[in-house]
């Protein structure tokens, strides 16, 4: 694509220092190591993986809640690393907004919907009360809420409606990028479909770029243009959604896909059994971090860490993929 | 004789706005070795029906039923002491949130051996070998080292395994799993579901799986009950249900799945499950139903051929139906 990408991430790393005791040396936890991608307007990048794989850390870096330890992040043409000046950072924050997983926890129970929605406007713009109200009502109608809802509290809404409020709040500053952290996983299937439809419509209308974090692969397959599969903070497979889903290369992607239940009564499907759970990121396995759970692992996997390499439409980090 | 028989179970809650009917005339019959799934959106009374069976509802609930018997014993006339002898021993239940259903103040060994001591008598400590055996059975590696672990030291999958170990400790005849995998990752979900089915086969127990995930139903259950706003709208075998849903709600639930989408827009069901104050006249599903006609808006439907609908969807011819569904 000729236009400039809205997000350019190059080798993003985030380490946390863990204090283990007064006389013990501090340990370093690698929450994210080496995520790189480009995201253009109107496109959706899905980040998938088990809990603890660094999905949410990536979201925190993208939304500038935290600074990356290493690597370069460019949002809308501005390098976040040098955007330390308050003015630039403040402007930049308006271009990237976030919708959280739990619509019951992310809305202030003591604020009315109207107040929740206009707070970003009060902080970031100099619109007067009437203009703010117009903008709030315009957006509420757009996400399928009624005008009279403006004076209600969050507890008066169902989960799906609350998620609509959260989406409206994210869009009120007219961002270019929205980070969606498991936006539908707390919702029922039927409501999930309503919210996904709304997200897709808004994207087509406003040309938004989505970073869609999820562990539900059937949803990801439906909504994503590109997929980034992560394991223990490292990207293991990345590429165009169709290619990754139709022909997964990395054994972890294969296992994830086969673990996802399908609404299909034909039970003869062969399932790759992933035994065990995610190892602790404080003491990651040597070599390839997936080798203790990998069914194809060979001796070399224990010693050599694989690097991402491009194969056609996808890049894979696995020693055995040729 | 069936292991569990429930006929016309109704649960009503006394609330400030009058009585709320959470479960409406639900019937269920189960034999040993059955796997039945109860599906529906939140607010459709799936959990309340099972909690009524367990006797775990608060005093505001009024439970009425024509018949509610387990293993030949009548649960309706039983006194609380007799009921306690069955609950946790012959009928046990796994809850959705493994992290919150374990007691954070006691270690794993204490919590599992407590169940055993309660139902079989004797000292808690004497059950240590049995606890280790149970933990091994549910697939916890090095169970001896986990005995003294507290719930906060376990991951979600591990806690759910501990819950399952606790629930199968007395080898129940009926296990009710209320959204056992909703809070877990897909890989762990697959492990837990496999474990439940394995245990069900090995012990010949009956399993009731409450879920809203149609894909989980398709992969585990034999029989499905679809519940909407407290009513059972359809009850059939899983293959029949997926190949040929007869109730418009079942069809709508299935077509809302992203897997079945043929285009970018999903077939969402408009609106939400009716609450206490906005219950529609006639069929409860009529405001959201795309096939609703005048009759649906006036009269509640009667059950015919296992479907609660005035105009059930037509029966497909068996031979060509399969190819349509396995997309």
Within a domain: B147: no
Q: What is the ipTM of this complex?
A: 0.81
Could you tell me the two tokens for A237?
């497979």
Within a domain: B245: yes
Q: Can you spell out the DSSP letters for B203-233?
A: HT-EEEEEES-HHHHHHH-SEEEEEETTEEE
- Across A88-102, A261-275, B205-219, least confident range: A261-275
Per residue in B257-279, pLDDT (tens digit) is 888 877 888 888 888 888 778 88
327 residues of chain B, pLDDT tens digit each:
789 999 999 999 988 888 889 999 999 999 999 999 999 888 888 889 999 999 889 989 999 999 999 998 999 888 889 998 999 899 999 988 888 889 999 999 999 999 999 999 989 999 999 999 999 888 888 888 889 999 998 888 888 889 999 998 999 999 999 988 887 788 888 888 988 998 899 888 999 999 888 888 998 999 999 999 999 999 999 999 998 999 999 999 998 888 887 788 888 888 888 877 888 999 999 999 999 999 999 999 998 888 999 999 988 765 444 444 433
Within a domain: B267: yes
In three-state form (DSSP H/G/I as H, E/B as E, the rest C), the secondary structure along B3-29 is CEEEEEEEEEEEECCEEEEEEEEEEEE
Which pLDDT score, from 0 to 100, does residue A188 have? 83
Tell me if residue B88 falls in helix, strand or coil.
coil
Selecting from A222, A264, A273 the residue whose C-beta is nearest the C-beta of B218 gives A264
Give how many domains chain B has, as a whole number.
1
Separation CA A224–CA B197 (nearest Å): 33
Separation CA B217–CA B204 (nearest Å): 19
Tell me if residue B116 falls in helix, strand or coil.
helix
Which pLDDT score, from 0 to 100, does residue A83 have? 59
Question: Do residues B99 and B174 lie in contact, with contact meaning Cβ atoms separated by under 8 Å?
Answer: no
Put simply, the chain B residues between 205 and 234 with a CB less than 8 A from any chain A CB are: 212-219
- CATH class assigned to A7-316: alpha beta
The 10 Å CB-count burial string (b at 16+, else e) for A146-169 is eeebbebebeebbbbbbbbbbbbb
Name residue, tokens 């400590």.
B125
Task: Please list the residues that pair with A235 across neighbouring strands.
Answer: A230
Chain A positions touching B326 (Cβ under 8 A) are 264, 266
Phi-psi region of A189 (alpha: psi -120 to 50; beta: other; left: phi over 0): alpha
Tell me whether B198 touches chain A (CB under 8 Å): no
Per residue in B238-253, pLDDT (tens digit) is 999 998 999 999 999 9
Q: What is the CATH number of the domain that holds B298?
A: 3.40.50.300
In order of B70, B94, B117, B306, the CA distances from B207 in angstroms are 14, 11, 24, 21
Chain B positions touching A146 (Cβ under 8 A) are none
Separation CA B119–CA B170 (nearest Å): 8
Separation CA B128–CA A110 (nearest Å): 49
Where in B1-121 does DSSP place strands (E)? 4-15, 18-30, 35-39, 61-64, 67-70, 73-74, 91-94
Within a domain: B10: yes
Which pLDDT score, from 0 to 100, does residue A282 have? 79
Q: How far is A67 from chain B (nearest CA, A)?
A: 28
pLDDT at A190 > cutoff 90: no
Query: Residue B67 belongs to what domain range?
Result: 1-86+211-327
Q: How far is A277 from chain B (nearest CA, A)?
A: 8
Chain A positions touching B41 (Cβ under 8 A) are 188-191
- The pairing of beta strand A314-316 with beta strand A234-240: antiparallel
Which pLDDT score, from 0 to 100, does residue B327 have? 39
Of B204, B203, B247, B201, which Cα lies nearest the Cα of B224? Answer: B247
Q: Which sequence spans correspond to the domains of chain A?
A: 7-316
The model carries a pTM of 0.86
Selecting from B157, B257, B268 the residue whose C-beta is nearest the C-beta of A218 gives B257
Count of CB atoms situated within 10 Å of the CB of A86: 8
């Amino acid at each position: 694509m000729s236009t400039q990408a809205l997000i350019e991430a190059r080798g993003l790393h985030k380490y946390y220092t863990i204090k283990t005791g007064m006389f013990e040396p501090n340990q370093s936890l690698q929450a994210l190591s080496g995520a790189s991608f480009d995201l253009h307007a109107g496109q959706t990048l899905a980040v998938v993986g088990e809990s603890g794989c660094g999905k949410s850390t990536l979201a925190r870096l993208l939304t500038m809640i935290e600074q990356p330890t290493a690597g370069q992040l460019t949002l809308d043409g501005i390098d976040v690393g040098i955007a330390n000046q308050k003015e630039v950072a403040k402007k930049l924050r308006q271009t990237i907004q976030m919708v959280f997983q739990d619509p019951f926890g992310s809305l202030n129970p003591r604020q009315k919907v109207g107040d929740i929605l206009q707070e970003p406007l009060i902080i970031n713009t100099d619109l007067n009360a009437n203009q703010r109200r117009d903008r709030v009502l315009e957006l509420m109608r757009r996400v399928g809420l009624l005008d009279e809802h403006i004076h209600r509290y969050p507890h008066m809404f169902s989960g799906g409606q609350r998620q609509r409020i959260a989406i409206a709040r994210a869009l009120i500053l007219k961002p270019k990028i929205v980070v969606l952290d498991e936006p539908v996983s707390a919702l029922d299937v039927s409501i999930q479909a309503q919210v996904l439809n709304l997200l897709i419509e808004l994207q087509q209308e406003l040309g938004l770029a989505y970073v869609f974090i999820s562990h539900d692969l059937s949803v990801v397959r439906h909504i994503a243009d590109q997929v980034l599969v992560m394991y223990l903070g490292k990207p293991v497979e990345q590429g165009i959604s169709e290619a990754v889903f139709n022909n997964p290369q990395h054994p972890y992607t294969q296992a994830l896909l086969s673990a996802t239940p399908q609404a299909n009564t034909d039970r003869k499907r062969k399932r790759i059994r992933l035994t065990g759970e995610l190892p602790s990121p404080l003491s990651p396995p040597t070599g390839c971090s997936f080798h203790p759970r990998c069914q194809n692992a060979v001796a070399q996997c224990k010693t050599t860490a694989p690097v991402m390499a491009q194969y056609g439409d996808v890049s894979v980090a696995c020693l055995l993929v040729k | 004789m069936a292991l569990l028989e429930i006929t016309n179970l109704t649960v009503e809650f006394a609330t400030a706005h009058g009585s709320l009917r959470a479960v409406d005339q639900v019937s269920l019959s189960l034999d040993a070795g059955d796997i039945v799934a109860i599906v529906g959106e939140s607010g459709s009374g799936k959990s309340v029906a099972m909690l009524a069976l367990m006797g775990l509802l608060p005093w505001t609930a009024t439970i009425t039923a024509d018949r509610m018997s387990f293993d030949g014993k009548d649960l309706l006339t039983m006194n609380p002491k007799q009921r306690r002898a069955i609950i946790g021993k012959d009928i046990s239940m796994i809850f959705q949130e493994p992290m919150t259903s374990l007691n954070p103040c006691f270690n794993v060994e204490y919590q599992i051996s407590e169940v055993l001591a309660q139902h079989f008598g004797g000292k808690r400590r004497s059950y240590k070998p049995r606890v280790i055996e149970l933990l091994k059975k549910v697939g916890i590696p090095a169970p001896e080292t986990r005995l003294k672990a507290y719930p906060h030291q376990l991951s979600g999958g591990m806690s759910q395994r501990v819950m399952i170990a606790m629930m199968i400790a007395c080898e129940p005849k009926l296990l009710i799993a209320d959204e056992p995998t909703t809070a877990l990752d897909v890989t762990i979900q697959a492990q837990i579901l496999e474990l439940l089915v394995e245990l069900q086969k090995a012990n010949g127990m009956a399993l009731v799986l409450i879920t809203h995930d149609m894909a989980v139903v398709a992969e585990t259950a034999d029989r499905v009950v679809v519940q909407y706003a407290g009513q059972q709208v359809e009850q059939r075998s899983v293959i029949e249900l997926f190949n040929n849903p007869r109730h418009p709600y079942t069809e709508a639930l299935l077509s809302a799945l992203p897997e079945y989408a043929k285009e970018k827009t999903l077939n969402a069901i408009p609106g939400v499950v009716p609450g206490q104050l906005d219950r529609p006249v006639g069929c409860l599903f009529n405001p959201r139903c795309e096939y609703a006609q005048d009759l649906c808006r006036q009269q509640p439907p009667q059950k015919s051929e296992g479907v609660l609908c005035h105009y059930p969807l037509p029966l497909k011819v068996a031979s060509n139906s399969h190819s349509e569904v396995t997309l």
